[in-house]
Chain A
Amino acid sequence: MAGELASTRAVSRTFAPVRTPLLIPTWVIIGFFLVAPVLMMLAYSFLTKEFRGGVIWEFSLAAYDQFIFDRGLFGDEPPQIEWTYIVIFVRSIIQAAVATLLCLIIGFPTAYFIATRSPATRSMWLFLVTVPYWVNLLIRTVSMKFLIRDNGPLNEALMGLGVIGEPIALINTDFAVQLGLFYSYLPFMVLPIYASVERYDFALSEAAADLYANRWTILYKVILPIVWPGIVAGCILVFVPSLGAFLAPDLLGGAKNFLIGSLIEEQFKGNAGNWPFGAAASMILLSLVLIALFIYARRQARRSAQAA
């Protein structure tokens, strides 16, 4: 162990850095396809809207104003807080949080199960987890819709078994949306947790059992703290796309309860056609996510500084 420690510390730096010229394509791609669109959105959010899509290059705070304040139908009443969009945001955060929790509850045991199989069968299990994702997200979401509709296989089966008397209304509910999000993003939870459990040394569980810990104590005091980074990574990878998702809310929630994703989609594709407003909503969403991640990173840094 001491040897390993020493050798990781002493890793030669000669092979560590990638030569700068080799990085040029990476920087170009990231700059062009990642940074530039975000900057464009940021710019659009401060421009004036053109009816039926597009923008007029004229500075305006109207988009943000519309998000936060209600000034009446003709914009001449005293400003009041506009709750519509805030409610949509809060609802979206709740939906994404529930989906993340569902993913965690199902994903952790799945990842743990795979990581504890023999090395030969692990790759088969991982493959099976990713198989549904070879099919397009839209098709998967539509098939989910067929599965859970009132006269779909799920309700038929439950009625056939006599568990329920009449179909449970699943489709077009919040739960259907959560289920859809859960199904869409489960592998993003399983894979990072798998990666950290796979590196976990199970001798630590034996040591804990040897020192009088029961199964739950081993899980809470030893396994979870050690695989924590994988859990956090999985939660971020599920929560963030769930927050902006629009397919599952549209198809499974029946667009009854508007979510952020659908709101933004409407501004660019739908009838609303308000690009600056869509861009502003995106920017607010992005800022919230970044602030949350930043606070988390700060707390982690402080905690590890305390430990050292």
Chain B
Amino acid sequence: MSEQDIAIDVRNAVKRFGAVTALAGVSLTIRDNEFFTLLGPSGCGKTTLLRLIAGFEEITEGEILLYGEDIGTLPPNRRPINTVFQHYALFPHMTVAENVAFGMRRLGWSKADIEDQTGRILDLVKLGDLAARRPAQLSGGQQQRVALARAMAPRPKVLLLDEPLSALDLKLRQAMRIELKQIQEETGITFVFVTHDQEEALTMSDRIAVMSAGEIRQVGTPHEIYEAPNDRFVADFIGETNVLDVTVQRGPDGAWHSRLPNGAVFPCEAAGTPPQDGAAAHVLIRPERLSLVPEAESNSGLTGVVDQIVYLGTDIQYGVRLDEGPDVLVRAQNVGSDTTSFRNGDRVGLAIAPGGARLLVD
């Protein structure tokens, strides 16, 4: 990749607050025009990393490059990066238009250019008719759009978004996800988005970095992160996962298999470190990759008793107590027919969809 393709290059960034290490040596490249998401539970360091990029916190060790230029020591007002704050931080004493114009004024844009851009940006976020209002006169969703417009107006090279949707209700949040993604594609600005909501990350991102305890656990496309998590933390954090203890067994065709304690063997994909034949390992299976079948038809050798049925609307989730091993979750689409459904106490077999089992060596 040439320098032009890399928007932000974080090199071995360390941030300590007194004795507490918030970031323990993070390296990351974010590409030009990318919708990049930092995903992780609260306290994982994702917001700290965002604040380092914005310049609100001083980096303890390491470097941050913006299109090849070291910005690690610049104050926030000298970085061509803007932020959408979690609680918006709109200036309460200014109108919507004044809020949006604030950054452009500081940059010394001409009056005509500022007016022009304010109008264009407010139209983009569909707030054209509210320009003269004060933030207190707007709904949460409208304030959110003003925050976005204000941050985008000065044409930053990178836009940082700190959990901007977390204060909105579910319906609005879902609509805004799609809109944000569209705006990002239209404007071609690089977005760095922080969230703890895995669904949000999966729907919007080009790539996701999953963080935990001040470190990056995995970087990849939503597909890679969901389908091929390379450790247990990532698998657990993104969606739900069943974890089974197995023994690794190499098949006659060279493919990897898992052997259950009861002797049953099923094929699986290997992830991360190549497993050793005969080693103890875990196998990860997503609930929707499992299905309930009559006991005799199980392709995996996994059998058990249905002990919980949860109706989720679009899906039905079954809890199955395995004859050997832990409880597992199975998710089936709600197709509305009674013939395929199972009842509490039924003995069932589990079928694993092709490629649905993933071998992990700790």
Instruction: Select from chain A the residue with minimum beta-carbon distance to B107.
Output: A212
Please tell me which one of the listed residues B82, B92, B138 contacts residue A210 in the complex, with CB atoms under 8 A apart.
B82
Q: A2-B139, A5-B136 are in contact. Are A209 and B77 (CB under 8 A)?
A: yes
What mask results when residues 185 to 218 of chain A are scored 1 for a CB within 8 Å of chain B, else 0? 0000000000000000101101111111110010
Contact A2 B83 (CB under 8 A): no
Expressed in whole angstroms, the Cα–Cα distance for A209 and B74 within the complex equals 12
Expressed in whole angstroms, the Cα–Cα distance for A150 and B83 within the complex equals 58
Scan residues 57-91 of chain B and give those whose CB is less than 8 A from a CB of chain A.
75-78, 81-83, 85, 87-91
Contact B89 A207 (CB under 8 A): yes
Instruction: Select from chain A the residue with minimum beta-carbon distance to B93.
Output: A225
Give chain A nearest CB distance to B55 CB in angstroms: 8
- Asked whether A21 is an interface residue with its Cβ less than 8 Å from the other chain, the reply is no
Contact A210 B76 (CB under 8 A): yes
Give chain A nearest CB distance to B197 CB in angstroms: 18
Contact A1 B103 (CB under 8 A): no
Expressed in whole angstroms, the Cα–Cα distance for A170 and B134 within the complex equals 51
Expressed in whole angstroms, the Cα–Cα distance for A69 and B37 within the complex equals 80
Scan residues 1-47 of chain A and give those whose CB is less than 8 A from a CB of chain B.
1-3, 5
Contact A211 B139 (CB under 8 A): no
What mask results when residues 82 to 122 of chain B are scored 1 for a CB within 8 Å of chain A, else 0? 11010111111101000000110011000000000000000
Contact B56 A1 (CB under 8 A): no
Q: Cβ of B92: which chain A residues have Cβ within 8 Å of it?
A: 204, 226
Contact A206 B77 (CB under 8 A): no
Give chain A nearest CB distance to B271 CB in angstroms: 39
Q: A210-B82, A211-B150 are in contact. Are A1 and B87 (CB under 8 A)?
A: yes
Q: Cβ of A213: which chain B residues have Cβ within 8 Å of it?
A: 77, 102, 106
Expressed in whole angstroms, the Cα–Cα distance for A210 and B103 within the complex equals 8
- Asked whether A73 is an interface residue with its Cβ less than 8 Å from the other chain, the reply is no
Scan residues 150-207 of chain B and give those whose CB is less than 8 A from a CB of chain A.
150-151, 154, 167
Inter-chain pairs besides A3-B140, A213-B106, A214-B77, 14 sampled, C-beta below 8 Å? A5-B136, A206-B85, A207-B85, A207-B150, A210-B76, A210-B81, A210-B83, A211-B82, A211-B102, A212-B78, A212-B107, A217-B106, A225-B93, A308-B134
Supply 21 A–B pairs (Cβ within 8 Å), ascending by A.
A1-B140, A2-B141, A3-B140, A201-B89, A203-B85, A204-B91, A206-B56, A206-B76, A206-B83, A206-B85, A207-B89, A209-B55, A209-B56, A209-B77, A210-B76, A210-B81, A213-B102, A222-B91, A225-B93, A226-B93, A307-B95
A interface list, Cβ under 8 A from B: 1-3, 5, 201, 203-204, 206-214, 217, 221-222, 225-226, 307-308
